Amino acid sequence: MERFIADLVQGLDSGNIDRREFCKAVALAAAVYGAGDAAQAQAQRGFKIIGINHMSYTCPDYAKARDWYASVLNMKSEATRDDGKRANLMFGPEPGKGGSFLVARSPSSTASGSAGVKPGAEAVIDHVCYTVPNWDEARVRATLKAKGLDVTGRDGSLHVYDPFDYEVQIASAAVENAFRR
């Protein structure tokens, strides 16, 4: 930019361009430079999201939650991370390849750096919906009822409560899809 303006000044001094042309050229250069800078900054601002890594779920009894999510949603508890206060419950793709996990915690467990449960939080995740592939309405409903759960909702999108009255939604791709709302 500096070099560009220096050349313009030289042109002005030598009479190759007049004052009006000089001013227009500098103003245009500033606008182009600013737009480019802003665009570059914009492109570099946000993160490229891959997915949900994990959700930290705090409840009165992590073991009870662990067993429920393992039983109802076939989540797999990672034994090496179960320390008697928390358990990591894996689901989806393999760990490190897009897989997610639910951290079931008792109140005495807090992640490093986390503030933990904040009383009176203004925002809340009031439910989580999980996708069940190969959806078979009768099979899904029968499975949930066999677990002793009260099922509400509509075909393809069912709601139950976990042992701590946290709402869990289970859905098919056909019914719950961000682009078909």
Partner 1 sequence: MEGFVAKHVHDYQNGRISRRRLIETLTLAATAFAGKGAGAAEQSGLDVALVNHVSYTCPDFRKAADWYAMVFNLDQVGATARDVALPFGNKGEKPYGVSADDVPLTHMIIRTRSPDAAAGNGPPRRKAKAVIDHIAFTVADFDRERAKAQLTAMGARNVRDGGPFSVYVDDPFGYEVQIGGLGVTAICGAETRATCGDNR
39 touches partner 1 (CB under 8 A): no
What is the footprint of partner 1 within residues 55-84 (CB under 8 A)? Answer: 55-60, 65, 70-75, 78, 80-81
Nearer to partner 1, 21 or 137 (CB): 137
| Distance of alpha carbon 90 from alpha carbon 26, whole angstroms | 59
Position among 5, 17, 29, 167 found at the interface with partner 1 (CB under 8 A)? 167
Nearer to partner 1, 108 or 131 (CB): 131
| 98, 49 Cβ separation under 8 angstroms | no
Nearer to partner 1, 24 or 127 (CB): 127
User: Length of the chain, please?
Assistant: 181
- Can you give the C-alpha Rg of the chain in angstroms? 28
With b meaning 16 or more CB within 10 Å and e meaning fewer, what string describes 53-81?
eeebbbbeebbebbebbbebeebebeeee
Task: Kindly indicate which of the ranges 7-15, 24-32, 163-171 contains the residues binding partner 1, using the contact rule CB under 8 A.
Answer: 163-171
129 touches partner 1 (CB under 8 A): yes
| Cβ 155 to partner 1 shortest distance, Å | 11
